[in-house]
Amino acid sequence: MAANISFDFSGKRVLVTGSNSGIGLEAARAFARAGANVALNSLSNTEADHQLAHDLAEETGQVCIYLPADLSQRDQANDLVARCRRDLGGVDILVNNAGIQHVSPVEEFSDDAWDRVTEINLSSQFATIRAALPAMRKQNWGRIINVASAHGLHASANKSAYIAAKHGVVGLSKTTALEVAETGITCNAVCPGYVFTPIIEGQIPDQMAQTGLSRDAVIRDVLLTKQPTKRFIEMEEIASAILYISSDMARSITGHAFAVDGGWGAI
């Protein structure tokens, strides 16, 4: 399904964390196609990552750059915003998207896994928001979109760190929104249900091992059991929501947990 997005983000500078694949890459592409200059980010720093930015610049005629950073390290998250300001000229729209999952019962959850999941999914968002806000305040305009999850609003077993982090993202988004409510800055969380991306692909073998179910049964009865539409959400649907919340038409939407969840929240 091709995204049919007609927003105009000309002149805006967008930093999307965790954007060499999945939802982040889709959002970065949608912003560049809508006229924004875009910074991609991931940890990996491969030739393919730089090529993604190069190809997007060629396709759209926008400035598109790639900035590696390991968002499990607070100082690198902080520094990423400064590097984006230096190399792209600023950060008008910050999309905090980087995320990882770890599936394990709480009694078996290691400290390392807990720290890594909470640092990448939650604390890096705190660090980039803190770094980006002063310049947004100065220009009295900014958009902060924190990618949370349906798991930012609802729980599932065996995902304690992810669910704690994503609930934290919703709380961080609400608090930030209140602190900037009288400015031209908004801050929202986006809460996707199950979108078919590498993060989901990676969960299937774990779930098969834990449940003893086949791949098809895991998809239907475990992953999509909570999603009444019984279909994976397309990445373009999440990108469209992110662009809408970033638009001027959404300037009164702030502090909101914007669910794109196939009806999950209705249960």
Q: Which is nearer to ligand NAD, 183 or 259 (CB)?
A: 259
x/- string (CB under 6 A) for ligand NAD, residues 169-208?
-----------------------x-xx-xxxx--------
Q: In what order do the strands lie in the sheet with 13-16?
A: 64-68, 37-42, 13-16, 93-96, 142-147, 185-192, 257-260
Among 7, 9, 15, 24, binds ligand NAD (CB under 6 A): 24
Tokens at 208, concatenated: 């098969």
Distance in angstroms (rounded) separating the CA atoms of residues 62 and 64: 6
Q: Which is nearer to ligand NAD, 194 or 258 (CB)?
A: 194
Among 14, 43, 84, 259, binds ligand NAD (CB under 6 A): 43
Query: How many Cβ atoms sit within 10 Å of the Cβ of residue 264?
Result: 23
Q: Is residue 100 helix, strand or coil?
A: coil
Q: Is residue 162 helix, strand or coil?
A: helix
Size of the site for ligand NAD (CB under 6 A): 27
Which member of 66, 162, 194, 244 is catalytic? 162
The phi and psi torsions of 193 (rounded to 5 degrees) equal: -80, -150
Among 56, 147, 243, 257, binds ligand NAD (CB under 6 A): 147
Shortest distance in whole angstroms from residue 7 CB to ligand NAD:
20
Annotation marks residue 66 as catalytic:
no
**What residues from 53 to 92 belong to the interface with ligand NAD (CB under 6 A)?**
69-72
Is residue 125 within 8 Å of 94, Cβ to Cβ?
A: no
Radius of gyration of the chain (CA): 18
Residue type for position 32: A
Query: How many Cβ atoms sit within 10 Å of the Cβ of residue 248?
Result: 10
**What residues from 97 to 116 belong to the interface with ligand NAD (CB under 6 A)?**
97-100
Query: How many Cβ atoms sit within 10 Å of the Cβ of residue 76?
Result: 17
Shortest distance in whole angstroms from residue 10 CB to ligand NAD:
26
Q: Which is nearer to ligand NAD, 185 or 239 (CB)?
A: 239
Shortest distance in whole angstroms from residue 229 CB to ligand NAD:
13
Distance in angstroms (rounded) separating the CA atoms of residues 164 and 155: 9
Q: Which is nearer to ligand NAD, 184 or 265 (CB)?
A: 265
- Which residues sit at the interface with ligand NAD, rule CB under 6 A? 18-24, 42-43, 69-72, 97-100, 120, 147, 149, 192, 194-195, 197-200
**Residues labelled as active-site residues:** 162
